[in-house]
Every structure is written in structure tokens, then in C-alpha cells.
Amino acid sequence: MSNISAINFFSENIGITGFDSENAPFMAFKELFDNSIDACNNKAKAEWHNFPKKIEISVNFDNLELDDQARINIIVRDTGCGIPLESIDLLGTLFGTK
């Protein structure tokens, strides 16, 4: 079994990700924003903390170029309740899809 980074794997096999269409960036951003809004508005799961609702989005355009492709770093943070401890092992699977 070879060691290949996730970014290289998905770059070489983009068709299996569903992100090979021209709408892919829009779909990814929409999903990030929807998840943050849902997490902040989920009152039932957020009863254990009193954090104010907050969503922070930062975009960083680095002058780095890897494999002749420019990279953009996008970070979405929120004060939502997060992932339940019992679901941590399911990360990377389709457990959270609607």
C-alpha cells in the first residue's frame, strides 16, 4: 500500500468526489455555511453552552503555487455545539449527510 496524501488522491480522482463540475466551489462553500448556520441555530444540542451565535469566515490567498495550481485557504468557524463525542469515529463517512 502506497502512502499518498489526501490532497493528491482527490486531485487525481476528482470525479469520485462529485466536485468535478463548474459548480463545485459553490457547492462546497454552501455546505460549509449551511453547516455553520445549522450548528449555531440548533438549540436542543447547544443547551450546554451559553456562547453567542457567531460565524467567522476567513479567506487567505497565499502566493504559494503547488503543482502549478494556486491555493486558497478558507476557514469557517462557528460557536455551534460541534460533533457529539459518540460520532467522532464516524468522521469521513456519510453519517452526516442529509
**For the chain, what are the domain ranges?**
46-82
Determine the Cα–Cα distance for residues 4 and 47; give it in Å rounded to an integer. Answer: 41
Q: Cα 58 vs. chain centroid, distance in angstroms?
A: 13
Question: Is the pLDDT higher at 93 or at 49?
Answer: 93
Determine the Cα–Cα distance for residues 88 and 93; give it in Å rounded to an integer. Answer: 10
pTM confidence score: 0.53
Residue 80 is given by DSSP the state S
Best mean pLDDT range from 20-29, 33-42, 86-95:
33-42
